Structure 1
Amino acid sequence: MINNHKSVRWRRVFACCLFFLTLLEPLSAQDLIVSGKVTDGKLPISGANVLIKNTKNGVVTDFDGRYNITAKTTDTLLISYLGYTTLTIPIQNRTTINVTLQEDATALGEVQINAGYYTTTDRERTGSITRVTAKDIEQQPIVSPLEALQGRMAGVEIVQQNGIPGSAPIIRIRGQNSLRSEGNYPLYIIDGVPVSSTPINSYGNMSNTGIDPLNTLSLSNIESIEVLKDADATAIYGSRGANGVILISTKRGSQRKSGLEARIYSGMGKASKKMKLLNTEEYLKIRNEAFQNDGEQPTESNAYDLILWDKNRYTDWQDELFGGTSIISDINLSASGGKENTFFRLGGSYHKEGTILPGDFSYNKVTAGLNINHTSNNNKLGLNLTLNYGVDRNNFINNRSLISSALTLPPNAPSMYKSDGTLNWMDWEYSAWNNPMAGLYNTSKAQSNTIVSNLELTYNLTNSFLFKTNLGYTELSSNEVIKMPKRSYNPRNWEYVSHRSIHSESNRNSWIIEPQLAYQNNIGTGKLDALIGITFQHSVSDRLLMNADGYVSESMIGNLASAEKTIANTNEEITYKYHAVFARIGYNWNEKYFLNLTGRRDGSSRFGANKRFANFGAIGGAWIFSEEPFMKNHNSILSFGKLRGSYGITGSDQIGDYGYMDTYASTRAPGGLYPTQLTNPDYSWEENKKLEAAVDVGLFRDRIRLGISWYRNRSSNQLVGYPLPSLTGFSSVQANLPATVQNTGWELELATNNIQSNELHWQTFINLTIPKNELLEFPNIEQTSYANQYRLGHPLNIKLLYQYDGIDPNTGLYKMVDANQDGKLDYEDQIVILDQGRKYYAGINNSIAYKGISLQFLWEFVKQKSRKDPFPPGFIGNYPKKILDVLKEDTELQMISQSVESYIAYSRVINSTFYIEDTSFLRLKSISLSYNLPAQIMSTIGITEGKLFLNAHNLITLTNYKGLDPQSIGNNLPVLRTISCGLQLNF
């Protein structure tokens, strides 16, 4: 009986188990194991949160960005990571869900921002710092990283002056502070190492702008670019921060992934614009009109274009001289990896860009970058080594007049070449034909080699104290050889010219040591950060410029030993020493109130012993008022609110070396010396007093972020050459003028999340700058040579003009107002002040992503006025079609004439209000379209990520300006319109 009862009991237990299993069977059928990978579009994201919505169940992605989670088919995943937009994804019976997170520009409160000697966040920063990341930099087909900043930052003005690759742009951060153009360069810092921002001299085609020292950086190797603008951000750099600081951080080795990344693109570039000029029929009509008005008869000497040249010939000289196509190629490869405590990244790139000018010329760049990260097992010792090496070579035709020739050559001018391919010089007695390709055989080859290296050592002394040392070294060497054979010129002049060459060499090398001690600790409800450091910097630069001529044959040009005469125009070596002590104290109280104090004492060898040292510093503060209790009820609308402000003094020592000394040179006769420079040991640093007030707000859970800043910078103690009377024997002496330049302005930055859904993301970024530059003070300016250049209360970038007074009815020529009524026209009658600076400028950037497709496009807008390109009244040379208006009865142009009187009137009117033109423009600066290749297909062939992309640069320009480029007024090569396409693969 007992056994029977036992068997019955087991049968009941077994039956119950079967019953419960039948109940559970439909539930387990609804459970899924969902797996996938979370990336940022390139690299996997380790530590991303994957959560089942409305539950506490979740997991974290591993080092490869992968996750596994058990969920129901009806569940929804929430995937989030700091600094990225949170995604909400319904499972819908899927077992594999790969996710790409988009960086959330409207929620970057915790993203680390490089502030130079320390890091901060967008939420906690007290200073004005603007950031551009790799995503915006690497997708542009450009040479210099500075070009990537155009239109993307408030308060940062970058002007690309021509379309020659590698030429240095003009960069101004919150305006022009110094009366000297060379005194307005910002400070460049690459991976903690200062790099000279002065353009490299070029005596070839780029001599008007120089060569950008940042050319040899690989754009694909840049992680981010931060621009420091106000005193709070720049005062820690002391005398070097007066004009702002540009911090460039290159990519580092990462523990996220080991792998290989390849990026390749190819494209082409064309001139972005051509002018509308006269055709042959129209040109001949204008030329005949000139002779008819002057009552003269055309002859072979005064009208060879009408008598000797073919009247039925037409050449579009713009198409001939800069209408070519530039072919662009770019290859980037990088490898990263490591394990445990050591990681590395090694990258290299090659960039080649042709020219739209005649001839087989090109720009080439090769770069390499290495980063090694190492941390000891106890996490106390840290090492970070960064090496960047680059070589660029610019091989261009050395003919600066090509563009002006393209705009002024008569359309019926002869062919440039003879039937045998040689230059056509013609042999007519009266023809002044100057072949525009004069200099075809002249070559300019400029090469630059750059090394930027830094070893950063850190050691955690305690939980609160960190010792850190930067050991940096930079070297930049450049050389240029310009060869000018006789056959580049008219054979008529061969007896007066010889085979010539110009040789220039420039070398800059610098080392820097910066030991620092950082302290961090919690004090009450606040957090204290402190830093103290010392800077030792030593720089040596030398420059050599030589002219050589009289080579026996063309094949020997460049070999100085074969030249008949060699002259060293410049041969100098300069040593620059800079020492400083700097400190910072930052306090964060209750994550609502922030205070930042910075100070620096600088010493520079560019000043005499009396003024060698100076002190600089700043105070900055911020209040996050949205964290106050009285604001909690408004958090549904105002999600973030911060007031911040700063005041401080920065300085500048951007002057020549040894300017405080008496200098002498040897006389031609042996044994003699003569003075070349007067001593002034008492001139001192320029000072820039910076004041800023700003408000940053976030609305509707930060879907809208708005920042408004007002700034005022006053630069005084101007370092210039002070004019001296001629009886002293010197034209000037280095001194501090009691002049003050003021820059004020408003900056607005707006970021919006327009659409944020599971599959569609649309973000818009807008920046607007309204600057004002003013010469605030200049005592006794009337007694200096600057009286004809500047005006108190007006910007530095002005032009003094005559007041245009219409057409003289008696002569038919232009007439100006005699302002002082003394019966003559001179500089005293130039009473109209034209501000040639920007009234305001803005950028509008949109980023749209739908599934695997993304589109980004940037519009740049500039409001400005300047003088339009003039044209002479009736002499030989082509004109814009506007000149046809002279044939109408009602015209604003003077009559066509070749008389002396007409030319005098023309020379005056080009400096009058008549030639003021609105040169504002709206430009589609860049547009990028990309498509992420299906992950399933890529994974089958061993590729982690794959992307196709199409990029365009300077695609559309809307402007009323009739010249070539409203950004670079004058006869400069216009910026190129480029289109490129490429492929990126991550293994």
Structure 2
Amino acid sequence: MKNNLEYRGFMRLCLLYICFLVPPPYFAHFPHGHCFKDVSILEPQQQFTITGTVSDTYGPMPGVHVLIKGSNKGTFTNDKGGYSITVTNKDILVFSYLGYHSRELPVLGRTTLDVEMLSEVTELQEVEVNAGYYTVKEKERTGSISRVTAKEIELQPIVSPLEALQGRMAGVEVIQQSGVPGSAPIIRIRGQNSLRNGTTDNGNLPLYIIDGVPVISTPITGGSNMYLNGIDPLTTLNLANIKSVEVLKDADATAIYGSRGANGVVLVTTKKGEGYFTKTKVEAHMYSGFGTASNKMDLLNTEQYLRLRKAVLANDEREPDESTDYDLLLWDQNRYTDWQEELFGGTSMITDLNVSASGGSATTSFRLGGSFHKEGLVFPGDEQYQKITAGLNLSHRSKNKKFRVTVSANYGFDKSGTPAYDGSFYSTALSLPPNAPPIYNDDGSLHWEEWEYSSNLNNPLAAILNRTATDLGYNLIANMGLSYSVLNVLTFKVNAGHTYLNREFKGLFSKDEYRPDLREFLNHRSTESHRTRKSSIIEPQLVYKNKLGNGSLDGLIGMTYQQNESKSLQVSGEGYPSEALIKDLSAAEVISISDNKYTKYRYNAVFARFGYNWKQRYFVNITGRRDGSSRFGPNKRFANFGAIGAAWIFSEDPFVKRSIPFLSFGKLRGSYGTTGSDQIGDYGYLDSYEATRGPGGLYPTQLFNPDYSWEVNKKLEVALELGILEESVHLGTSWYRNRSSNQLVGFPLPSITGFGSVQANLPATVQNTGWEFELSTANIRSRGFNWQTHLNLTFPNNKLVSFPDIDQTSYANTYRVGHPLNIGLLYKFDGLDPETGYYRMVDVNEDGRYDYTDRIIVKNLGSKYFGGITNTISYKGLGLSFSMDFVVKDGLNYPLATPGTISQQSIEFYKVWQGTEGDVVQKLSLTNAALSAYRRYRISDRFTSDASFLRLNNLGISYEFPDAVLDRIGFSTCKLFLQGRNLITLTRYNSLNVETPGDSSIPSLRTITLGIQLQL
């Protein structure tokens, strides 16, 4: 009896604690002020009846499934939304209805429990979207923000989160330049704004923010040249630790970041722990599979190749010679080797394991996780890419809810064994004749004899097998946030963060990679590169939120102090006495330093934001920022940026509700503002000097320019959003115009000055306009079956609006005013010369020479439109999702070697030459006149073709075990999944990598993985 009384007393204390101390979001279903109205103190196993009504915003909901969690006992609501079920005090009720967000609510002794369900589609409008320094409900945002969630990222067999954005966001184009793990993709948010578009000097990169901490977005150069565009700085993130990725696009969304947001902002938010009396939740998922190169070019077989070669000799009226025609006289005429298969036709084995634990109490929550990812390479050898990550998130708040502290730390380590090959690796696979010598002798050793017949060929596998390359990366991103509510309407916050990124590459080059007849003239070599980036930031803020009249006012004011430091060192050694000493740099005969830099960047800013909404119908958002950057001269160091955005939810107007009853949501919004850019090298405005080779001397290398200043990007947008039939159809349409002026470039100078260029602002204006469409439909919503579709489509238009005196600059032969930046300046094809049989181009000025004045055809090589479509289908525990992305564009034909030389050729050319396809081909010849004609042909309008493609980007199939099975096996969630990526690509373009027409790089891998996801 005593124990029973003690138990009842304990239960009373617990209920008191729950009602008064636990925050409302978790127990929102308790009626305010009536916590004990229907609660009686019951024994845990005592059965009683609980009743209630289930409804949504439109009234009672019949047919809702009410289930006691962990059992097969349940019922359905009647036509008035009512239900009645026998329960015990410890039971948890699960309310579910397809198309609505499921709710799990504990009984806790109550005899009545009314529940309000939220539609999954309607819920999208209630989602809190990360806008950077603040969050906003989806339906109330005035800016353009696109979002993908953990559900779309965490199980995909990819390395960088940017890959998951392909085809999923309007206005956001992600181009994967290489299938080598860790390669940096190209990401463009509403087009190219800057004339600088190189690898190391790129003014078009967006700003990356991870949990409030900015990360330098410039790809990391150095190491293996197989990383054509550098290494992605987001590679070491744990994909399973990402909660969402938001992309800010227009002025209203980006202006609060000032100069850093000129090219858009990518916000990565990591997962946090769950508190409020939840038990510790353990999650794990593992997948394993394989990947192969998703595409290969159609090239000639041996018979076709030899026919081309012999035709050249016949046309040039000469006999074959062993020194120049060894492929015809000394090589096996029946041998065939598919060099694409030999050099990148391997299978990449993929393994990924992720484990996390989260939980907490009423005041403290935590999440701790780690992952391991291993991915083989498709190149010969057993090298691979590996990644290990660890993440910690802590959150604590005081009992009075006034003080809050959050801490997050994400650490990643990756190691790549990608061969230290130069950029010719892929072109070697595409150029070696099909009857080239074998790789191995019969005893398994490398074959050399026949390779020595040529002065410029080498066994292609020798470099891979006789080179050792290791590329290591260490990345730490840490953040701490403190906040204190001074008043009910005023909060003081401080966010501080630190990042540390280090990459170390070491390549060892044995002279044994070369032919034996050349080794006596060569040395063993080595190269090392060390690159470090450090960044620290602190941002104090004052946040205000209060009701004002018929609406509410919220705002913030803050300051930013940021400092970046970068170091780079590249050292090479040559002339090692033996291969055994090649790892010891001090043993080298010659040591040279090709790169040794240290730079520091400081950035300060003051920013403010004020937003007002009236009757949840009209919204205004004003942002402003004053930036200061150490990259500019003292006369132009500071600049002001700002924006205004407004929105009108007209569907809340009583007249609209009466007139258009099927319109469930309607919003008109717009924004205008300015952002800037300081994406240039450090110290670009200063004089600089270098030491002369002789002792005691200096010579100038850069001129001082105190007026070197900011780029300015003016952004305008108008958008309309519509939800129809309870938002079973949601349509968003946006028109935007961005104008970037005062371009930051190196201004060329006459040679008489002694300098090639001076850092300056060119009076050029680049404009990006476009239409964006996003459509979401709930095609089928029933109790057992659900099918949703999401479509996005973008029509971009990039143009160089003005560039005074462009003819006096080095850009005269690169850009044309009134045309896009990504263009080809081409000759006009004029058929075959009837006298010579060679290609002929139009000589515009009839001066007998061919130069840029004759290249009058301006071909747009950018995307005409692009987009993606995703379908998600579920039937009970089965799930199916598949997404496709597409691009419509033109591209230059793949630049294979001149037909008839000792090199491979495309099957397309062969068919045209044979007359099986309609076109014209000049007479095969290797005379100077024929070679010159072909070189001009390759930069003519005839050498372009349709490079559009449609790709099945992702396919996922899953099965989630029902609750009855989970209860027996002891898991709260168990899901099997199969994922496929880059499975099918439809295109008429014969290129190795369809995403980057004309470039020589391996395409993204075609991967298939099978895995399991568990939750305790």
1:475-490 to structure 2, matched below 5 A, reads: 475-490=500-515
TM-aligned CA distance change 1:111 to 1:489, over 3 Å:
same
> What secondary structure sits across from 2:925 in the alignment?
coil
Offset of residue 314 of structure 1? 1.1
> What secondary structure sits across from 1:709 in the alignment?
strand
Task: Supply the distance in 1 between the matched residues of 2:1002 and 2:297 (Cα, whole angstroms).
Answer: 12
Task: Supply the distance in 1 between the matched residues of 2:408 and 2:865 (Cα, whole angstroms).
Answer: 39
Are positions 1:975 and 2:990 aligned together? no
Offset of residue 824 of structure 1? 1.4
Check the 8 A contact 2:358/2:365 in 1, yes or no. Answer: yes
Q: Which runs of 5+ in 2 are unaligned?
A: 1-24, 31-51, 84-93, 105-114
Offset of residue 419 of structure 1? 3.0
Offset of residue 58 of structure 1? 14
Q: Of the candidates 415, 421, 435, which is equivalent to residue 444 of structure 2?
A: 421
Offset of residue 411 of structure 1? 1.0
- Aligned residue for 2:271? 251
1:699-718 to structure 2, matched below 5 A, reads: 699-718=724-743
1:354-753 to structure 2, matched below 5 A, reads: 354-400=376-422, 401-426=424-449, 430-432=453-455, 433-440=457-464, 441-753=466-778
Offset of residue 520 of structure 1? 0.7
> What secondary structure sits across from 2:143 in the alignment?
coil
- Aligned residue for 2:323? 301
Offset of residue 77 of structure 1? 7.0
- Aligned residue for 2:260? 240
- Aligned residue for 2:241? 221
Are positions 1:202 and 2:222 aligned together? yes
> What secondary structure sits across from 2:163 in the alignment?
helix
Counterpart code for 1:460: S
Are positions 1:282 and 2:304 aligned together? yes
Task: Supply the distance in 1 between the matched residues of 2:876 and 2:973 (Cα, whole angstroms).
Answer: 14
> What secondary structure sits across from 1:109 in the alignment?
helix
Offset of residue 761 of structure 1? 0.8
TM-aligned CA distance change 1:759 to 1:583, over 3 Å:
same
Offset of residue 790 of structure 1? 0.6
- Aligned residue for 2:150? 134
Deviations 1:121-153 (A, max 9, x none): 111000000010000011210000000000000
Offset of residue 63 of structure 1? 14
1:817-836 to structure 2, matched below 5 A, reads: 817-836=842-861
TM-aligned CA distance change 1:414 to 1:427, over 3 Å:
closer
Task: Supply the distance in 2 between the matched residues of 1:207 and 1:690 (Cα, whole angstroms).
Answer: 34
Check the 8 A contact 1:82/1:111 in 2, yes or no. Answer: no
Check the 8 A contact 1:518/1:529 in 2, yes or no. Answer: yes
Task: Supply the distance in 2 between the matched residues of 1:392 and 1:720 (Cα, whole angstroms).
Answer: 34
> What secondary structure sits across from 1:786 in the alignment?
coil
- Aligned residue for 2:345? 323
Are positions 1:809 and 2:837 aligned together? no
Q: Of the candidates 885, 888, 908, which is equivalent to residue 915 of structure 2?
A: 888
TM-aligned CA distance change 1:631 to 1:863, over 3 Å:
same
TM-aligned CA distance change 1:562 to 1:808, over 3 Å:
same
Check the 8 A contact 1:52/1:71 in 2, yes or no. Answer: no
Deviations 1:17-39 (A, max 9, x none): xxxxxxxxxxxxxxxxxxxxxxx
- Aligned residue for 1:875? 901
Offset of residue 80 of structure 1? 7.1
Offset of residue 883 of structure 1? 3.0
Offset of residue 238 of structure 1? 0.3
TM-aligned CA distance change 1:564 to 1:715, over 3 Å:
same
Offset of residue 565 of structure 1? 1.1
Alignment size in residue pairs? 935
1:79-118 to structure 2, matched below 5 A, reads: 85=100, 104-105=120-121, 107-118=123-134
- Aligned residue for 1:145? 161
Counterpart code for 1:482: G
TM-score (norm 1): 0.91
> What secondary structure sits across from 2:966 in the alignment?
helix
Q: Of the candidates 362, 374, 386, which is equivalent to residue 340 of structure 1?
A: 362
Offset of residue 480 of structure 1? 0.5
TM-aligned CA distance change 1:84 to 1:196, over 3 Å:
farther
Offset of residue 553 of structure 1? 1.5
Please give the root-mean-square deviation of Cα atoms over the aligned residues, in Å: 2.6
Q: Which moved more, 1:780-789 or 1:589-598?
A: 780-789
Task: Supply the distance in 2 between the matched residues of 1:445 and 1:257 (Cα, whole angstroms).
Answer: 43
Counterpart code for 1:703: S
Offset of residue 217 of structure 1? 0.3
Are positions 1:901 and 2:923 aligned together? no
- Aligned residue for 1:856? 881
Task: Supply the distance in 2 between the matched residues of 1:64 and 1:537 (Cα, whole angstroms).
Answer: 50
Q: Between the two proteins, what is the percent identity of the paired residues?
A: 55
TM-aligned CA distance change 1:72 to 1:102, over 3 Å:
closer
> What secondary structure sits across from 1:253 in the alignment?
coil
- Aligned residue for 1:6? none
Task: Supply the distance in 1 between the matched residues of 2:870 and 2:135 (Cα, whole angstroms).
Answer: 26
Deviations 1:254-286 (A, max 9, x none): 125522111000010111112221111111111
> What secondary structure sits across from 2:254 in the alignment?
helix
Check the 8 A contact 2:437/2:451 in 1, yes or no. Answer: no
Task: Supply the distance in 1 between the matched residues of 2:98 and 2:194 (Cα, whole angstroms).
Answer: 39
Offset of residue 210 of structure 1? 0.3
TM-aligned CA distance change 1:820 to 1:834, over 3 Å:
same
Task: Supply the distance in 2 between the matched residues of 1:55 and 1:434 (Cα, whole angstroms).
Answer: 78
> What secondary structure sits across from 1:954 in the alignment?
strand
Deviations 1:95-127 (A, max 9, x none): xxxx9x998356411110000000001110000
Task: Supply the distance in 1 between the matched residues of 2:426 and 2:938 (Cα, whole angstroms).
Answer: 20
Check the 8 A contact 2:65/2:74 in 1, yes or no. Answer: no
> What secondary structure sits across from 2:715 in the alignment?
strand
Check the 8 A contact 2:563/2:600 in 1, yes or no. Answer: yes
> What secondary structure sits across from 1:656 in the alignment?
coil
TM-aligned CA distance change 1:183 to 1:88, over 3 Å:
closer
Are positions 1:176 and 2:192 aligned together? yes
Task: Supply the distance in 2 between the matched residues of 1:243 and 1:81 (Cα, whole angstroms).
Answer: 43
Task: Supply the distance in 1 between the matched residues of 2:222 and 2:445 (Cα, whole angstroms).
Answer: 29
Task: Supply the distance in 1 between the matched residues of 2:622 and 2:406 (Cα, whole angstroms).
Answer: 28
Offset of residue 777 of structure 1? 0.9
Check the 8 A contact 2:471/2:504 in 1, yes or no. Answer: yes
Check the 8 A contact 2:649/2:665 in 1, yes or no. Answer: yes
- Aligned residue for 2:205? 185
TM-aligned CA distance change 1:428 to 1:501, over 3 Å:
closer
> What secondary structure sits across from 2:954 in the alignment?
strand
Check the 8 A contact 1:741/1:773 in 2, yes or no. Answer: yes
Deviations 1:685-736 (A, max 9, x none): 1000000000111111111111100000000000000010000000100000
Counterpart code for 1:424: H
Check the 8 A contact 1:415/1:424 in 2, yes or no. Answer: yes
Deviations 1:421-478 (A, max 9, x none): 3322216774344222241211221111000010011111111001111010110011
Offset of residue 783 of structure 1? 1.4
Deviations 1:366-404 (A, max 9, x none): 001000111111111111110000001110122233321
Are positions 1:922 and 2:942 aligned together? no
Deviations 1:611-638 (A, max 9, x none): 1111000000001111112212134211
Deviations 1:806-829 (A, max 9, x none): 112221111111011111111110
Task: Supply the distance in 1 between the matched residues of 2:77 and 2:270 (Cα, whole angstroms).
Answer: 44
